[in-house]
Structure 1
Amino acid sequence: MSQRKLPDIDALLHIPQLSVQNANAISGPHSWGHPGPTHFTGLMTALERKLGPACGLHFVAVGIVSHGYQAQTYGDYVQRFKLTRNPVGKDGATAAIVEEGRIHLQLSLLFGLQLDEARRAATDEELDGLAHKVGRTLQTLRIAGGSVLPGHSRLQPRLIRLDESEDVRAQQFRRLRRYLLPGYALVARDELLHAHLATLRQEAPDATLLDAWLDLSRINHRPVLGDEGRIEWQHGRAGGRGWIVPLPVGYGALSPLYGAGSVVGTRDDCTPVRFVESLYSLGEWLSPHRISDYRQLLWYPTHDAERGVYRCRNDYQAANPTEHHSLGVIA
């Protein structure tokens, strides 16, 4: 079983103000909107492979900061995706292809890195050159299926080697944090799911995690008897809870792990494969100035081979006084 905590990090790589066109807005079967953390941990792996071992960088975590978005939808109360009807078949008829929903993004990424010996001893000029190389390489990749457009920001990629002192690291992050504003960082709030489940079970003892997740993922309107005997409708989203969103955080196994080449139609014949379903939890969009430690911002992949759980984790909730639950997910 993998270790359920963020690995040690030697440096932070800030990629500022990326413009992404036509990213996938449907990251799971039950929600739509901004791509989930699995899209960006996948980008992290693809970027490391593209750079190659000679680059001397090992990507272990990624932070997601959104500066703006534009969902490709239309409608007033009911939103519908703007879909295209291409390509057409040989006879000119529309092909039987269901296009995914799309969204335009403006975001910054913060990668947590482990450096090899040569990069640890590198000069600041060499690290700046390496950061620009990573930024140029990232522009050749897809982010959640979307294309990276040339940016217009004056900010440049920065690679910051973290100091051994925790106090100095905190100062480094405070300086870096200013370049993430204005924006909203995505953090995990698994503990809210369990707290709301306990609240629901006071009235409905048979309530499940799915009931709690659905209740927090929508706006519920309930009739309340007013002072004059009139019925008033009130929504269940109390003020001060923050920007809470349903979030796909990984995958859970539906089948045993099959040997390489034993399942027809897989991507390659060299990798074991198993069938999975999406795992959901809760996340929160939080202004970066409310985050005091860079570790609270980063998402990192973990897996539990025995239980068949492959999910992304974030340590923001562990810094709060609320009890931390290790799983906190629903399938």
Structure 2
Amino acid sequence: MSAEDLQGAPVWRRAVLLLPRLRIQNANAVSSPMTWGWPAMTAFLGAMTAAERRLGRDAGIKFYGVGMVCHGFEPQVTRGGYTRSFHLTRNPVLPNGATAAIVEEGRAHLDLTLVFDVEVTEGQDGEAERQALAQRVAQLVQGMRIAGGSVMPALPGNRRPPRPLLELLPVGHADDERKQFRRLMRRCLPGFALVSRDDLLQARLEALRQADVDASPLDAWLDLSRLTSRAHKVSRQKADGTVEESAEWRYDSREGWIVPIPVGFAGLSGLHPAGSVAGARDAATPLRFVEGVYSIGQWISPHRLRGWSDLFWWAEHDEASRLYRCRNDYAPLPTTAEAAATES
């Protein structure tokens, strides 16, 4: 490469792109055969990739990760005591007049803020240029589908809808970056961010194996996914001096608001050449059969996060293990006992 080519190469700066208060209607609420609720992070990473491809290489922006803050979640269900049923649509009849089969689909209305980990070219240093690029991305997202749902315009009201924001990250100034992070996270309140808690899954597996050496990661995942109540013996002394014993049901303590989530896919077969599998959607892309990968997530208020690495999710591919999964670097603060053990 010549010196002229090096001089003409664009200089990229790390930045964050914030798209506040997106209203998504009829998003997919069934992201896997074993979970339902908030869409999987694979849906938001897929939307990020789709937006980058639509913008093109000449847009002056690259996407690396996405963070998400939930402000509202409204599942489209019919409530009847403890039982909930999804609202289903009636499909048109078949050409022969027979009734078409009903395929159960879960939908939900979402209110969320998306935060992207991006890089922009040096030409986007000006505030006007950055705001124009942020507005361009926001307008592009308005015409996309996110998690299978439609992005709706802001509701009319007295308050102006919040504008998208694109800010450069301070270079070499950890304190300035921390202040910027806290300032931008205040714009996302009230809400909850979804972070990864693989550590809870591993800790619960080790605890179960102390009682049963044959316990599997699935046992630990199911144990964390439910509310478990246990009977505790309670003794009360009456006024006449006698002791009355009874049972009191108590729920096991939980590490905050934790939920089971799908985090990617694991390959079941080798990589088949493009066009070799009949019925594939894309005949120009190699194909591999996969199954879902699950873990544990936690909803946490954005003001409790310490930095951008706690918020952002990114895609990781390990060809040796045929694993495609979403990663997040959130690590909880150590407890007093853990901190003392580490120091000693």
The two structures have a TM-score, normalised by structure 1, of: 0.90
Query: 2:17, 2:190 → 1: CA distance?
Result: 19
Preserved CA contact (<8 Å) 2:60 2:120: yes
Write out per-residue CA displacement over residues 20-72 of structure 1, whole angstroms, 9 at most, x where no aligned residue: 11000001111100001101000000011111111111111000100011011
1:133 and 2:140 aligned: no
Query: 1:235, 1:93 → 2: CA distance?
Result: 50
Query: 2:108, 2:168 → 1: CA distance?
Result: 34
Q: Quick one: which amino acid aligns to residue 51 of structure 2? A: L
List aligned pairs for 1:1-331, cutoff 5 A.
10-74=14-78, 75-119=80-124, 122-152=125-155, 154-164=161-171, 165-227=173-235, 228-236=244-252, 238=253, 241-317=255-331, 320-321=333-334
Preserved CA contact (<8 Å) 2:263 2:295: yes
Task: Measure how far apart 1:135 and its partner are.
Answer: 0.3
Q: Quick one: which amino acid aligns to residue 86 of structure 1? A: N
Preserved CA contact (<8 Å) 1:9 1:112: no
Preserved CA contact (<8 Å) 2:275 2:283: yes
Q: Quick one: which amino acid aligns to residue 57 of structure 2? A: P
RMSD value, Cα: 1.8
Preserved CA contact (<8 Å) 2:13 2:121: no
Task: Measure how far apart 1:129 and its partner are.
Answer: 0.7
Q: Quick one: which amino acid aligns to residue 20 of structure 2? A: P
Preserved CA contact (<8 Å) 2:201 2:296: yes
Write out per-residue CA displacement over residues 143-185 of structure 1, whole angstroms, 9 at most, x where no aligned residue: 1000110014621000011110222211211211111100000
SS, match of residue 83 in structure 2: coil
Q: Quick one: which amino acid aligns to residue 313 of structure 1? A: R
Query: 2:209, 2:334 → 1: CA distance?
Result: 22
Q: Quick one: which amino acid aligns to residue 38 of structure 1? A: T
Query: 1:37, 1:94 → 2: CA distance?
Result: 35
Query: 2:287, 2:102 → 1: CA distance?
Result: 26
Q: Quick one: which amino acid aligns to residue 175 of structure 2? A: D
Q: Quick one: which amino acid aligns to residue 246 of structure 1? A: P
Task: Measure how far apart 1:295 and its partner are.
Answer: 1.5
Q: Quick one: which amino acid aligns to residue 308 of structure 2? A: Y
Preserved CA contact (<8 Å) 2:66 2:314: yes
SS, match of residue 226 in structure 1: strand
Deviates more, 1:167-176 or 1:41-50: 167-176
Query: 2:183, 2:97 → 1: CA distance?
Result: 57
Q: Quick one: which amino acid aligns to residue 100 of structure 1? A: E
Q: Which one has more relative contact order, counting CA pairs under 8 Å at least 6 apart?
A: 1
Task: Measure how far apart 1:103 and its partner are.
Answer: 0.6
Query: 1:264, 1:154 → 2: CA distance?
Result: 47
Write out per-residue CA displacement over residues 117-140 of structure 1, whole angstroms, 9 at most, x where no aligned residue: 433xx3110110110110010010
Q: Which position in structure 2 is the counterpart of 1:5?
A: none
Query: 2:13, 2:227 → 1: CA distance?
Result: 39
Flag the structure with larger Rg: 2
Q: Which position in structure 2 is the counterpart of 1:329?
A: none
Q: State percent identity of aligned pairs.
A: 50
Q: Quick one: which amino acid aligns to residue 11 of structure 1? A: A
Task: Measure how far apart 1:81 and its partner are.
Answer: 0.9
Preserved CA contact (<8 Å) 2:13 2:122: no
Query: 1:305, 1:92 → 2: CA distance?
Result: 49
Return 5+ residue gaps in structure 1 as ranges: 1-7, 324-331
Query: 2:83, 2:266 → 1: CA distance?
Result: 31
Deviates more, 1:110-119 or 1:41-50: 110-119
Task: Measure how far apart 1:208 and its partner are.
Answer: 1.2
- Paired positions, count: 311
Q: Quick one: which amino acid aligns to residue 16 of structure 1? A: P
Write out per-residue CA displacement over residues 229-260 of structure 1, whole angstroms, 9 at most, x where no aligned residue: 33333222x16x21100010000011111111
Query: 1:163, 1:235 → 2: CA distance?
Result: 46
The two structures have a TM-score, normalised by structure 2, of: 0.86
Query: 2:33, 2:302 → 1: CA distance?
Result: 29
CA separation of 1:26 and 1:9: change in aligned 2, threshold 3 A: farther
